[in-house]
Structure 1
Amino acid sequence: MLWQRLKAIFVYLWNFRYLPLKYRWPLIKIRRRLVPTRTGLGLRNALRHARSLQHPPEPNPYLFVLRLLWPFPTWRFPATLPPPPREIMASPERVCCQVRDIMYLRSMPLWRARDTPQRSFYRIYEAFCAADGRMITYETEYFWRRPGPDWATANIPDPECRDPEQYAVMASLAEVLAESFVWRLELGMRRTDRSIISRSEECPPPFAPEVPPPWTAKVPALKKKLIIDPEEEDNYFDSPFHRRNIYMATGWFYTV
């Protein structure tokens, strides 16, 4: 009760509520210039969203934000190789329940600055193995809107998987990602913005096509069929997945 009382007094003084409105607003404007409440780091929003994280929940949102500011041992977040496809397929809910939290994390400038293309690529892989089309779309759009050279599809690092099914899925995924980006580029979209050419233009402006990373060429097709989504087993769509004997639709990668 004492803390709530002190907080109420502080808010009362901080917002100049003891003054008439015509004097209050000029003072609030001066206060905002001297003590800005918003910065490019987005700490306030990060703190608010940290309270909403559930998988796993953050016991202390202030410590979570402080960890975002902590640059050691490296500034970039480490990337951990996800489980093999069949392990994710056995419990897809563990991946699907993270969609809401990932949306919160993407709204944090500090988190985005420390995120890496390899981590995003692994999230797409997990969503693919969980057959979560919504998460595939969100993460593909997120990857597309990161225009830096590190985020080029040609620079996706080799995961060097020991599991042949996992290696085949990731190689196909990198190739589909590059193909879907070329499809967007041919529509006139660019990774630096979301603009599309007008219908009056006959062809889009020239662009450098996205290409898959070189390591995908050495990954062979699976000898045994891998069915990610049973509903797609009887359907055939010419894609890197089907060429490697993996059955799953790719429409979730092609959105605008």
Structure 2
Amino acid sequence: MDRLRQIFLYFWNFRYLPMKYRWPLIKLRRRLLPTETGLGLRDALRHARSLQHPPQPNPYLFVLGLLWPFPTWYFPAVLPPPPRDIMAEPYRVRCQVRDLIYLRSMPLWCARDTPQRAFYRLYEAFCAADGHMITYETEYFWKHASPKWATANIADPRCEDPEQYAVMASLAEVLVNSFMWRLEIGLRRNGDIEGPDGAPPTVLEFCPAWTANVPPLKEKLIINPDDELYFDSPFHDRNIITATGHFYTV
């Protein structure tokens, strides 16, 4: 395979020609076949080679899969496991942080991502007590300013596990609180900031309607026993003990 690659590069870069002929041909090739496009295919291919969880057997097939719009353009949102299953094996979630950084740099992957998938990833990061991943996913959600990504539109997961339902309802409410906090200090989801004329118009965030119907847990659920400081939050209202500082970053 390496030998074939070397042969391809030999002809692709016109190495069989003197430099005075080679460089004009390379510039012509770049005009006819630009490597930089709005789809970011070149960077997507480069980052696809670094994906490890799960590893991609062929980065070219991975990028082609991003272009394949069937059966639907948007990636499906699969309900994650209950909290205690994730808490028992948090490394399965934590090992995804590096890969998610690569994936978020791919315009095609982001275009096919959905708010429900981001919300589920945030839930997994929360149950795994991965503060860095919570921060990254919260910021990623915040920077999507389209109406589709409004917090009020987070769909009801309809969990059968009461602990999972309580965690997700509280998570949605904490996400709204953290977004409202950002709005209060002058930030906006579209990137506008407060200027000489004052703060730009505010588009308020609201909790999804389904969260109001999720009751508190009968037994206490401690997400991260290592957290020593707890403050009032929607989690505590549902008898879930955890800190929420990683949601409040700028």
TM bucket normalised to smaller: over 0.9
Structure-2 residue corresponding to 1:254? 248
CA distance in 1, matches of 2:144, 2:135: 15
Structure-1 residue corresponding to 2:8? 7
CA distance in 2, matches of 1:133, 1:173: 14
| TM-score scaled by length of structure 2 | 0.92
Structure-1 residue corresponding to 2:211? 216
Aligned counterpart for 1:151 among listed residues 149, 152, 165: 149
| TM-score scaled by length of structure 1 | 0.90
For 1:197, what is the secondary structure of its paired residue? coil
Structure-2 residue corresponding to 1:242? 236
Cα RMSD for the two superposed structures? 2.0
Aligned pair count?
Answer: 249
The superposition leaves residues 19-48 of structure 1 with CA deviations (integer Å, 9 ceiling, x where unpaired) of: 34xx76665444322221111111111111
Q: Using the TM superposition, name which of 34-43 and 244-253 deviates more.
A: 34-43
Letter of the 1:216 counterpart: T
CA distance in 2, matches of 1:137, 1:162: 27
Counterpart mapping for 1:161-180 below 5 A? 161-180=159-178
Identify unmatched segments of 5+ residues in structure 2: none
1:28–1:11 distance in 2 versus 1, CA, 3 Å: closer
Q: Using the TM superposition, name which of 40-49 and 142-151 deviates more.
A: 40-49
Structure-2 residue corresponding to 1:74? 72
The superposition leaves residues 100-145 of structure 1 with CA deviations (integer Å, 9 ceiling, x where unpaired) of: 1111111111111110000000000000000000000000000001
CA distance in 1, matches of 2:13, 2:61: 28
For 2:92, what is the secondary structure of its paired residue? helix
Structure-2 residue corresponding to 1:125? 123
Could you tell me whether the CA contact under 8 Å between 1:187 and 1:204 is conserved in 2?
no
Identify unmatched segments of 5+ residues in structure 1: none
Structure-2 residue corresponding to 1:18? 18
CA distance in 2, matches of 1:81, 1:19: 57
Could you tell me whether the CA contact under 8 Å between 2:178 and 2:248 is conserved in 1?
yes
CA distance in 1, matches of 2:25, 2:9: 19
Letter of the 2:14 counterpart: L
Aligned counterpart for 1:184 among listed residues 164, 182, 185: 182
Counterpart mapping for 1:25-40 below 5 A? 28-40=26-38
